[in-house]
Amino acid sequence: MRQRPLYSTSRSRSAAAPITPGASSGSNTSAPAADGAAVEQSHRNSKVPPSKASWLRNPPPVVTWLLLVAVLVLAAAAWRTGQPARKLTQADINAAVLKTLETTRLPSVASRAAQAIGPSVVMVSGFAPEKGQAEEQQNGVGSGVVITDTGVILTNLHVVQGSPTIRITFSDGTESTASVVNVQPQDDLAVLQAHRIPDDLKPATLRSTADLLPGDEVVAVGFPFGIGPSVSAGVVSGLKRSFRSPEGKQQMTNLIQFDAAANPGNSGGPLVTADGEVVGIVTAILNPTSARTFIGIGFAVPIENAASAAGMPPF
């Protein structure tokens, strides 16, 4: 069964309750002052430092899973001894979670993001005939991201421009030729259709940039210099940036600036959130020298622009 593009249902920060000036983050300004004293007393009773207690009240998904395992272990121990299980207290739960965190190595943000987007990242290679050569020669390599399980792929126009033959390598090693079905030159975007796709092709999840903020963690996955898939991590450095190509032929606007390492070959690959959801297509790096290597400033086209190039504006 064919799928349309997957769009994230993650809630925007704008949907969160506003914070009253002078109130601490996460506090309920309508609650009486006595509630704060009760929380502090609860912290002292449970012997959990306040900084950790706040984190325990809003654990990430991995910790929630570990907590469930800890509760099941305690229940199994009670069953083996034949004694009725006593009622678990908050202190028991806190202790179980902290013990699990001390003895279990959790995956990093970049690792989780890379695992989520990995099956949707492809290598895009362009080939063209060369004078005096019997076979076409590779004249460019870049990256791309699958947005539907029918094999629709987003990449940069400059990756495939001037290449009569385009070849795609999927994450499972499947290779296919591809055709350009649409271009959006002002955003340096090209939409490809693969001619052969894996049976279990997984499209990426696309996420609006409406709640993206400077400082948010992002991960770039692609094939720098044809090596990959390679993963680099950083943060959003700025929004609504402008960039002019080194040749001065094109001015691009409304770009996401980021500092995750990107080099030639990363072009066309996805820029994703910590959840592995695509917020942009890596398109350029700023380098005032002739080295064409990364010096800390990269740019990505927002996913809203990229999806519209495929005729599917998502947000």
Residue 308 falls in the annotated catalytic set: no
Whose tokens are 């997957």? That residue is: 6
Identify the residue with better confidence: 4 or 119: 119
Calculate the alpha carbon distances from 177 to 14, 94, 130, 193 in Å: 42, 54, 19, 9
Instruction: Report the pLDDT value the prediction gives residue 41, as an integer from 0 to 100.
Output: 46
- CB 291, CB 174: distance < 8 Å: no
Instruction: Report the pLDDT value the prediction gives residue 54, as an integer from 0 to 100.
Output: 44
- CB 84, CB 78: distance < 8 Å: yes
The rounded mean pLDDT for the chain is 80
Distance CA 24, CA 161 (A): 52
Q: Count the neighbouring beta carbons within 10 Å of the beta carbon of residue 122.
A: 32
Asked if the model's pLDDT at residue 138 lies above 70, the reply is yes
Instruction: Report the pLDDT value the prediction gives residue 136, as an integer from 0 to 100.
Output: 87
- CB 191, CB 183: distance < 8 Å: yes
Q: Which residues pair with 127 in a beta bridge?
A: 138, 165
Least confident of 20-24, 280-284, 292-296: 20-24
Q: For the packed helices 33-46 and 50-57, what is the interaxial angle rounded to 10 degrees?
A: 100
Q: pLDDT of 182-210, one tens digit each?
A: 999 999 999 999 999 999 999 999 999 99
Asked if the model's pLDDT at residue 15 lies above 60, the reply is no
Residue 188 falls in the annotated catalytic set: yes
Percentage of the chain lying above the pLDDT 70 cut: 71
- CB 216, CB 238: distance < 8 Å: no
3-state secondary structure the chain: CCCCCEECCCCCHHHCCCCCCCCCCCCCCCCCHHHHHHHHHHHHHHCCCHHHHHHHHCCCHHHHHHHHHHHHHHHHHHHHHCCCCCCCCHHHHHHHHHHHHHHCCCCCHHHHHHHHHHHHEEEEEEEECCCCCCCCEEEEEEEEEECCCCCEEEEEHHHHCCCCEEEEECCCCCEEEEEEEEEEHHHCEEEEEECCCCCCCCCCEECCCCCCCCCCEEEEEECHHHCCCEEEEEEEEEEEEEEECCCCCCEEEEEEEECCCCCCCCCCCEEECCCCCEEEEEEEECCCCCCCCCCCCEEEEEHHHHHHHCCCCCC
Least confident of 38-42, 129-133, 295-299: 38-42
With bands split at pLDDT 50, 70 and 90, how would you rate the model's confidence at 16? very low
Instruction: Report the pLDDT value the prediction gives residue 35, as an integer from 0 to 100.
Output: 43
With bands split at pLDDT 50, 70 and 90, how would you rate the model's confidence at 61? low
Asked if the model's pLDDT at residue 42 lies above 80, the reply is no
Fold of 205-309: Thrombin, subunit H (2.40.10)
| Ranges in the chain annotated CATH 2.40.10.10 | 119-194, 205-309
Q: Give the active site residue among 125, 158, 187, 232.
A: 158
Q: Give the active site residue among 8, 120, 176, 267.
A: 267
Asked if the model's pLDDT at residue 275 lies above 80, the reply is yes
Asked if the model's pLDDT at residue 102 lies above 90, the reply is no
With bands split at pLDDT 50, 70 and 90, how would you rate the model's confidence at 44? very low
Mean pLDDT throughout 32-49?
Answer: 44
- CB 86, CB 74: distance < 8 Å: no
Q: Which CATH superfamily is domain 119-194 in?
A: Trypsin-like serine proteases (2.40.10.10)
Mean pLDDT throughout 214-239?
Answer: 96
Asked if the model's pLDDT at residue 64 lies above 70, the reply is no
Q: Give the active site residue among 188, 232, 237, 259.
A: 188
Instruction: Report the pLDDT value the prediction gives residue 312, as an integer from 0 to 100.
Output: 73
Residue 171 falls in the annotated catalytic set: no
pTM of the model: 0.71
